[in-house]
């Protein structure tokens, strides 16, 4: 099982759009989203995954994550088992020095723009670009499973 080390930010400007190296149309829904663990199904363009995420540590940066690629057909067959209110979003992948920032423009269930950066370690320095605003890492109101 992998450990995910991630920081999350609000986005204040749309200048990330011209910096993006790719964009993905994502549909995701949750089989389970209790406080201790979430299980989600995600379809992004022509690929799909099932992902299990554990509870974040006290900092909100680190949690266990297990992910397995499945077929799009398998993912679509699991969607009817998922909880109501699937998420629809467009993801922009933006290179930032040796890292990547992903910016999610949420369409459903509500409009919002959030950015995430995954770090190789908790002590990896990160200098946010000017289009990132307030850091919301660890704030449960900005977890995908709560949107």
**In the predicted model, is pLDDT for residue 103 greater than 90?**
yes
| Residue from 16, 30, 97, 143 carrying the catalytic annotation | 30
How far apart, in whole angstroms, are the C-alpha atoms of residue 114 and residue 69?
24
Active site residue 30: yes
- Give bridge partners of residue 42 from the DSSP assignment: 28, 49
- Give the model's confidence band at 28: pLDDT under 50 very low, under 70 low, under 90 confident, else very high: very high
Q: How far is CA 73 from the centre of its chain?
A: 22
Higher pLDDT, 122 or 20: 20
Q: What are phi and psi of 119, to 5 degrees?
A: -110, 145
> Domain residue spans in the chain?
2-146
CATH of 2-146, picked from 2.40.320.10, 3.30.1490.20, 3.40.50.10860, 2.40.160.10, is 2.40.320.10
Q: Mean pLDDT over all residues of the chain?
A: 94
Say whether pLDDT at 145 is over 90: no
Output the pLDDT for position 121: 92
pTM for this predicted structure: 0.91
Please check the confidence at residue 15 and state whether its pLDDT lies above 80.
yes
Q: Cα(55)–Cα(104) distance, rounded to whole angstroms?
A: 21
pLDDT at 17 over 80: yes
Looking at the predicted structure, is the pLDDT value of residue 146 above 80?
A: yes
Mean pLDDT over 45-62 rounds to 92
């Amino acid at each position: 099982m992998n450990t995910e080390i991630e920081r999350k930010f609000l986005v204040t400007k749309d200048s990330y759009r011209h910096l993006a190296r790719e964009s993905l149309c994502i549909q995701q829904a949750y089989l389970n989203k209790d406080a201790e663990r979430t299980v989600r199904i995600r379809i992004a363009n022509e690929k799909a995954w099932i992902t299990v995420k554990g509870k974040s540590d006290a900092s909100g940066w680190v949690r266990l994550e297990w992910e397995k690629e499945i077929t799009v057909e398998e993912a679509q067959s699991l969607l009817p088992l998922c909880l109501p209110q699937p998420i629809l979003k467009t993801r922009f992948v933006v290179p930032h020095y040796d890292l990547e920032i992903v910016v999610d423009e949420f369409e459903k269930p509500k409009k919002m723009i959030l950015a995430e950066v995954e770090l190789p370690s908790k002590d990896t320095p990160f200098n946010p670009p000017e289009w990132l605003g307030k850091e919301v890492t660890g704030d449960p109101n900005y977890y995908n499973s709560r949107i």
